[in-house]
Amino acid sequence: MQGKNTKFSAVIAYFEQLATDHVQIQHSPTSKHFARLELDEVVTGIQSRIKFPLLVLEGYSFSLRDPKSDNVMKQRSGAFMLLTHVKDKGDYNLIHETWDFLEEIGDDIIARMKQDKRNPASPIRNFNFDSVEGSLISFDANMLYGIRYTYDIETSFPAMVDPDKWLSPDNS
């Protein structure tokens, strides 16, 4: 069932594979271009161990909606960032070139997600292309610049009670 298979661990594996496969990122066990950390950990704690450009996957939030009372949907809202280090935070031309470069990579990732959603086994099978938004970001103190992308993945929610998971399956 698609809804049951879209777990955070599958989304992590998917984005890590994107970072591995993209020719301008090329994440590997020996060249870390992917992180699944909170942003402040990346900014303050691990800069010596990561390589740029860096794809950072954030955790996601989710909500349930029941528009027709018989088709409950689970909407996951997630985000990822593409970051790189700029040597001179006063070189605005370089910063703008960096944002252009990262936007190009981001466009590649979004296009790949659009393609991959056609695969029934994909954890982003129900990726909502209309939900994608990007914002330029900067952390001047650390000279990190990037783009943060948000997205939604919607899956059906199995709202039926599984009696095998309850000592008393019927509360009536």
CB contact set of 54 (below 8 Å; sequence gap of 6+):
32, 33, 34, 35, 42, 81, 82, 83, 84
> Going by C-beta distance under 8 Å and a sequence separation of 6 or more, which residues neighbour residue 171?
none
Annotate 84-102 with b (16+ C-beta within 10 A) or e (fewer): bbbeebeeeeebeebbebb
Q: What are the helix (H) ranges across 39-171?
A: 39-44, 92-116
Weakest mean pLDDT among 42-56, 85-99, 148-162? 42-56
Long-range contacts of 130-137 (CB under 8 A, 24+ apart): 131/77, 134/103, 134/106, 136/99, 137/81, 137/83
Contact between 143 and 85 under an 8 Å Cβ cutoff? The reply is yes
- Work out the number of other CB atoms within 10 angstroms of the CB of residue 74: 19
pLDDT tens readout for residues 96-147: 999 999 999 999 999 999 999 999 889 888 888 999 999 999 988 889 999 9
pTM value?
A: 0.86
Tokens, residue 129: 């292309």
Domains delineated in the chain: 2-158 (3.30.2000.30)
For residue 9 the two structure tokens come to 């661990």
pLDDT, tens only, 22-77: 999 999 999 989 988 665 655 555 556 789 999 999 988 999 988 777 788 888 99
On the CB side of 133, CA atoms within 13 Å amount to 7
